């Protein structure tokens, strides 16, 4: 697999953080778990249930040697979100995420959560539109 990085860009490979000082192309010759800087969510951006789930799974990917606590948090977050959701598409997507995490397919689980962001955004938009405005 070929990966191109710009000057100053970071990549997370098997728990290690690499930053390049010039434009570079990497070729991964074996099976490695990696995350590009552009896909890394900052803690302050984890502002919704699915974004929090993404952040938890991201921790599992970036720090694989110490992911037991994050895995427990992930399972709990998925259970609670499914229980609170009335959207069957969201619930099915979260069950697929859980299956990926159970099979240690962490990168694919991140992609699956990211694919659910539009559903969550639509649900949240409906909730805001139907809530009464507060009088000052």
129 — pLDDT class (breaks 50, 70, 90): low
* Same domain (yes/no): 52, 6: no
* Same domain (yes/no): 33, 83: no
pLDDT digits (tens, 9 = 90+) for 86-106: 899 999 999 999 999 999 999
What CA–CA distance (Å, rounded) separates 35 from 107? 8
pLDDT digits (tens, 9 = 90+) for 29-44: 888 778 888 888 999 9
For 61, residues 6+ apart whose C-beta sits below 8 A from its C-beta are 12, 33, 35, 106, 107, 110
* Same domain (yes/no): 26, 70: no
* Same domain (yes/no): 74, 22: no
65, 132 in Cβ contact below 8 A?
no
128 — pLDDT class (breaks 50, 70, 90): low
* Same domain (yes/no): 10, 52: no
* Same domain (yes/no): 17, 45: no
Quick one: tokens of 115? 């694919």
* Same domain (yes/no): 65, 17: no
* Same domain (yes/no): 53, 14: no
Question: What is the pLDDT averaged over residues 8-28?
Answer: 89
* Same domain (yes/no): 7, 55: no
Number of folded domains that form the chain: 2
Domain that holds residue 30: 1-40
* Same domain (yes/no): 33, 84: no
The helix or strand, by DSSP H or E, that contains position 35, with its residue range, turns out to be strand 34-36
pLDDT reported for residue 132? 47
49, 81 in Cβ contact below 8 A?
yes
Question: What is the pLDDT averaged over residues 4-32?
Answer: 89
* Same domain (yes/no): 46, 28: no
pLDDT reported for residue 112? 97
pLDDT at 130 over 80: no
pLDDT digits (tens, 9 = 90+) for 35-68: 888 888 999 999 999 999 999 999 998 887 778 8
Question: What is the pLDDT averaged over residues 103-118?
Answer: 94
Residue 72 Cα distances to 22, 56, 112, 119, angstroms: 39, 10, 18, 24
* Same domain (yes/no): 57, 91: yes
For 72, residues 6+ apart whose C-beta sits below 8 A from its C-beta are none
């Amino acid at each position: 697999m070929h990966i191109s990085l710009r000057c100053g860009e970071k990549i997370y490979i098997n728990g290690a953080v690499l930053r390049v000082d010039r434009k570079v192309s990497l070729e991964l010759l074996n099976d490695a778990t990696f995350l590009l800087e552009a896909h890394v969510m900052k803690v302050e951006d984890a502002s919704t249930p699915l974004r929090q789930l993404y952040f938890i799974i991201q921790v599992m990917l970036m720090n694989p040697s110490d992911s037991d606590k994050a895995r427990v948090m992930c399972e709990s977050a998925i259970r609670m979100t499914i229980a609170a959701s009335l959207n069957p598409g969201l619930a099915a997507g979260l069950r697929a995420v859980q299956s990926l995490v159970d099979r240690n397919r962490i990168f694919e689980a991140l992609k699956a959560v990211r694919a659910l962001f539009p559903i969550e955004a639509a649900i949240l938009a409906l909730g805001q539109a139907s809530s009464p405005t507060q009088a000052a």
